[in-house]
Copies of this chain bind each other. A is one copy, B any other.
């Protein structure tokens, strides 16, 4: 499967635009940022830290303890861009950075600028807080991507050397550290390294980290004692923060820091798929059900609390004091992708699609210049001054001193091609409907599939199947969960799709001939979505969704005090494509009732009916909100 990822070309209207923004705006800007050349911004110092570690520059380490990971995520995004479009100048810059990493690497393989420069001799003394293995993981991911994109081994060799060293350090052996990371990441990275090298050592090390986590005596206690630290851990003295409160196989509910959790679940799913570990698979499924049926926003956002950027408890999904970090939605995409490998079920692709078209890309403006860390579902800008909502920014910010989300989004968008297709013996799956071409080998023969669609605005999809010669195989076509009725034509002839569908995929087995045409049509009526009655925040409210796109109301279109707009139950809604708006989006309009504020005198409380008047409201895709001017926004409308 991995090989085929490198053979996907994107020509989709929707995603190509985002990839161009990443290529032309985000990546160049981030490079300037990493090199401290952005005026009026706090310096990143990330490249300079590597120079200092390499002995090529004087000065002190500066930045977060995980500053190295910014360079890693940048390199990974660059690799994905090169994968689809070789760019000699960009590649030259990346090669230079990689050489710098090589020079900063210690002779034993260790590669971390914080400890090398700032606390030499203290390596691995604070796994709980200090992100060494996390940074290693991001560098490994970048190295794997770069090798697959360019075929160059240099970065991969550097990281194998580091991974080999880490493998000697951690484990249950006599002189080994029986610990694991405070921020999960290396687990999923080692599995990628295993995939590309075939070296089982990396799989075993990933497995060790996963299996060891949360066992007693607790390693975080052991190392804390060794550090002579006495104060309780800040997260209510609870290792739920790192999902290390109990062993992984005993975890039934998503808890703690959402990104940590989801990176770990991603690794678990991948490991279970690679090893056939049934008990681990079950844990993944249990946690999946908990996250997606109890703790996920309709946008694919996760993490309901700023405290610990964390999951809270079932059905606690406030729209305004939300966290829903961009990175958490990205991690949800990673996890969903791995769950599909573990079990082919459309429910995983549904969540992947939900997060991709809503809660991830909402993190960036349409120009790739500003970013949300937190993705709220309801904003009253004035209320963002409240102490308990200060984490919710009413407008996207230029960059962050903790710059985790922007480069993470860059690498996701640049690698969108990895999420569209996958392959099992004799079956090619289509998970996402994205204008693209794939060249892959099925049963020994090269097959080209090209996909044309105007998704997500229109549910018509045309697939052209072109094997090098006639070839029997199965096409597994996802039927989106939001789709109530689907039409299928093969070479112009209607085919009843219903009997072909199993767990969200239609399986079409036949001898495919060069140029065979598969036409799909997923009608996209406007849907009025209700939340589970236990979600107290959304009682009496409705959200609008069309296809995979979740909608919102903005003040610029609808005036202020958006909660005062009531959507009658029986009103008809219209959708139309506006090519001029927000880069071209489908807009939803309809009539609604609005409380007449002018009819209300000065009293705060009165025993009256609030008179309403008819208005036409306008909803836009959630991901595109806050691209015009600052103002109120709501996803969940009141219903009447």
Contact = CB atoms under 8 A, between A and B. Distances in A.
Interface of A: 289, 292-294, 296, 298, 304-308, 312-313, 316, 321, 380, 382-383, 385-388, 482, 527-536, 539-540, 543, 545, 561, 563-564, 566, 569, 595-597, 600, 602-610, 638, 640
Given A316-B386, A386-B316, A605 B543 contact: yes
Nearest to A390: B307
Contacts of A528: 607
A564 B595 contact: no
Contact of A569 (B308, B533, B563, B609): B609
A374 to B, nearest CB: 13
Contacts of A534: 561, 597
A324 B387 CA distance: 16
A604 B387 contact: no
29 contacts: A292-B604, A298-B605, A304-B386, A306-B388, A312-B386, A316-B382, A316-B383, A321-B321, A380-B536, A388-B388, A529-B605, A529-B607, A530-B606, A530-B608, A530-B610, A531-B605, A532-B604, A532-B605, A533-B561, A533-B564, A533-B596, A534-B561, A536-B563, A539-B595, A540-B540, A540-B563, A540-B638, A543-B605, A569-B609
Given A530-B610, A532-B600, A533-B600, 17 more contacts: A289-B602, A298-B605, A306-B388, A307-B386, A308-B387, A312-B385, A313-B385, A316-B383, A321-B321, A529-B605, A530-B609, A532-B605, A533-B596, A533-B597, A534-B597, A539-B595, A540-B640
Contacts of A308: 387
Nearest to A313: B382
B532 A603 contact: yes
A594 to B, nearest CB: 9
Given A386-B305, A530-B609, A533-B595, A604 B539 contact: no
A597 B535 CA distance: 11
B543 A563 contact: no
A640 B610 CA distance: 13
Contacts of A566: 540
Given A321-B388, A536-B563, A539-B563, A531 B307 contact: no
A296 B603 CA distance: 11
Contacts of A321: 321, 388
- Most chain B CB within a 10 A radius of its CB, from A316, A530, A561, A604: A604
A10 to B, nearest CB: 29
Contact of A602 (B293, B296, B604): B293
A234 to B, nearest CB: 11
Nearest to A550: B605
Nearest to A387: B307
A255 B270 CA distance: 54
A13 B380 CA distance: 45
A18 B536 CA distance: 35
Nearest to A608: B530
A292 B534 CA distance: 34
A600 B294 CA distance: 13
Contacts of A638: 539-540
Given A321-B321, A540-B540, A600-B533, A305 B609 contact: no
Nearest to A525: B607
Tell which of A298, A534, A596 has the most Cβ of chain B within 10 Å: A534
Nearest to A602: B293
Contacts of A380: 536
